[in-house]
Amino acid sequence: MTTIAVLGNGRVGGTLASGLTRAGHEVKVADRTPGSAADAARTARIVINATPGAGSLERLVALREDLRDTILMDVSNATADGPDGLPADLLYPGSSLAEQLQQALPDTRVVKTLNTMLYPVMTVPAALGRPPTAFLSGEDPDAKQVVRGILADLGWRPEWITDLGGIATARATEAAILFVPHVIRSSGFAPFAISIAR
């Protein structure tokens, strides 16, 4: 059993916390109360960033010491929203939230994943009509292997997980968020994910 801290208790964080608890992990969810995030991160081996991406960098940099020597599983996308509240543009063009986090937190092993789907798919990937793909981006092979194990606990089969390489590859998966508003407008708010067909 692994202790996992989930930063963010919205739809994404709540979904992941429930799924990981069902899988047998000890999960600590940080809310917005002062000190909650630091307390959760300090005692966890794995920390999941499920905070709104526009403020993630500032929030997590404030936890630099608490995140030292942990694996940070980053599932957020940093976007500027349009008038309808849906993502309209990237906040870090030419970079990514994951790269910004890794640069700001050199003693933390950042792994980007699960950011190319609507949140219900994160914990029930087999519910889709076709297999989805979960991508991994990060510099540390051991950290990515740990995250593979977490994904497996959430129902992700090995063949559904694609390691893209270093943290810079998160630029590609984070840019995929720009698909989301168009898919929602055309098909409604139904679970979907990006999938690589071979």
Taken in order of first residue, the domains within the chain and their CATH numbers are 3-187 (3.40.50.720)
What pLDDT digit, counting tens, does each position of 94-129 carry? 999 999 999 999 999 999 999 999 999 999 999 999
Higher-confidence position of 198 and 139: 139
Residue 52 pLDDT more than 80?
yes
pTM for this structure?
A: 0.96
24: left (phi over 0), alpha (psi -120 to 50) or beta: left
Contact 42, 66 (CB under 8 A): yes
DSSP string, the chain: --EEEEE--SHHHHHHHHHHHHTT-EEEEE-SSTTHHHHHHHT-SEEEE-S-HHHHHHHHHTTTTTTTT-EEEE----EEE-TTSSEEEESSTTS-HHHHHHHH-TTSEEEE-S-SB-HHHHH-GGGSSS---EEEEES-HHHHHHHHHHHHHTT--GGGEEEEESGGGHHHHHHGGGGHHHHHHHH-S---B-----
Confidence of residue 1 (pLDDT cuts 50, 70, 90): low
> Which two structure tokens, joined as six digits, stand for 163?
């390691």
> What does pLDDT average to over the chain?
95
Buried b / exposed e across 104-133, counting CB within 10 Å, b at 16+?
ebeebbbbbbbbbbbbbbbbebeebeeebb
Pairing status of strand 109-112 against strand 134-138: antiparallel
> Which two structure tokens, joined as six digits, stand for 117?
């789907």
What pLDDT digit, counting tens, does each position of 4-34 carry? 999 999 999 999 999 999 999 999 999 777 7
Residue 73 pLDDT more than 80?
yes
